[in-house]
Amino acid sequence: MMDRGLRMIPVNEPLLDGNEARYLGECIVSGWISADGAFVEKFENGMAEQMNRRYAVSVANGTAALDIAVASLKIGPGDEVILPAHTIISCAAAVVKAGAKPVLVDSDPVTWNMDVTKIEGAITPRTRAIMVVHIFGLPVDMDPVIELASRYGIPIIEDAAQAIGLTYKGRPCGSFGAISCLSFYSNKNITTGEGGMVLCNDEALHARAKSLRNLCFMPKRRFIHEELGWNYRMSNLQAAVGLAQLESLTRHTLRKRQIGHRYGRLLHDVAGLELSPPSEPYGESIFWVYGLILKDDIPLSGDEARAHLAELGVDTRPFFWPMHEQPVFRKMGLFTDERYPIAERMGRRGFYLPSGLALTDEKQDRVVGAVRQLMESL
């Protein structure tokens, strides 16, 4: 009997084809497996250099990185943070957990990123940060955001979790704004299984981020605390994998782009689909994931299409569900009567195809065959 689970093409498979096993072995042999280990510092230094940043603080995951970014900027009750409606909940949750209010901006229907022309209208005297999130591998148009941020004196938090290896006008994503956040979850372009990072250039911000990561232990006297932090430390085991992944980043980014452009070529003539935007004048997508949006004349929701593709052996994931339609935030009285139509449409009609680094051309052809079969059957 065929095992459907085995035949299903997974939405992501990471590629651990460099020094990962060797570096992990060094951790085991040396006994350095917790956060106190040489790989943590090597990985942080390597990432800081990669991202053109003075400081890097490794953390337990990307959600933790966002928590630390918001807390490092001392954002709290009474403050507002502008962020896209279409993003992962970690962004809005970091703001809400800090006691502050997320203020949403709709997406751009072409780039799928936050519509930067709508940011200024969301600024109020309470705005304490603009959180930009590069979505699916194409950069946000940063120059207008940087101009606004400096005109109003508002810091930028950059969520570059999906943008490791991506550049905007030749500058690496992860280098923009007061503080940048990365995730190294298994589907990210550098993975440590679970992991994340905070990057910045400011010495005081760096010291605060480091302290918040480690329970705000006082440097003078351990076990006396003047503030509450988290244990968000990254282990040496994770950093060992991360360093090996960083060594492969250029090669892996090329491969991601190959996969993305190949999907674009093989799907461009399929009616009824909007395909992942490949580039804008300011940057070429690294296709962190390859997304599709069903055009409005297609009589299926994204979830219905995904169910059909699953029957054809193709695993997919829906796009993010918009923040203003999250039951958890509605229950808190947030976003009542707010509408962000582009983000709503993306949440209902968008999903992404298997896009991991280990995807072979043969598997990709099967994915394309399934998408064609579905669309031609309608």
Q: How far is the CB of 80 from ligand PLP (least distance, A)?
A: 19
Q: Which residue lies nearest ligand PLP, judged by its C-beta?
A: 62
CA distances from 94 to 8, 55, 185, 243 (A): 35, 21, 18, 27
Copy the structure tokens of residue 290: 């390859």
Rg of the chain over Cα atoms, rounded to whole angstroms, equals: 21
360 within 8 A of 17, measured Cβ to Cβ: no
Closest separation in Å from C-beta 162 to ligand PLP: 5
Distance of closest approach, residue 46 Cβ to ligand PLP, in angstroms? 19
Work out how close the CB of 290 gets to ligand PLP at its nearest, in angstroms, rounded to a whole number: 15
Smaller CB separation from ligand PLP, 183 or 211: 183
Given a contact cutoff of 8 angstroms between Cβ atoms, the answer to whether 178 and 157 are in contact is yes
Bridge partner residues of 352 (DSSP): 291, 317
Looking at beta carbons only, is 188 or 306 nearer to ligand PLP? 188
> In the bound complex, what is the minimum distance in angstroms from residue 298's beta carbon to ligand PLP?
26
Q: Which is nearer to ligand PLP, 26 or 194 (CB)?
A: 194
Residues at the site binding ligand PLP, with contacts judged by CB under 6 A:
61-63, 87-88, 90, 133, 159, 161-162, 183, 185, 196
Based on CB atoms, which residue is closest to ligand PLP, 90 or 248?
Answer: 90
Which of 40/88 has CB closer to ligand PLP? Answer: 88
For residues 153 and 111, give the distance between their C-alpha atoms in angstroms, rounded to a whole number.
27
Least distance (Å) from ligand PLP to the CB of residue 340?
17
Q: Which is nearer to ligand PLP, 189 or 364 (CB)?
A: 189
Least separation in angstroms between residue 196's CB and ligand PLP is: 5
Query: How many Å apart are CA 243 and CA 284, to the nearest integer?
Result: 25
Token pair belonging to 240: 């060992």
Structure tokens at 133: 């999130």
Which residue, 185 or 282, is less far from ligand PLP as judged by CB?
185
- Reported in sequence order, the residue ranges of the chain that DSSP labels E, i.e. its strands, are 55-59, 80-84, 101-105, 127-133, 156-159, 167-168, 171-172, 179-183, 196-200, 273-275, 279-280, 283-284, 290-294, 317-318, 350-353
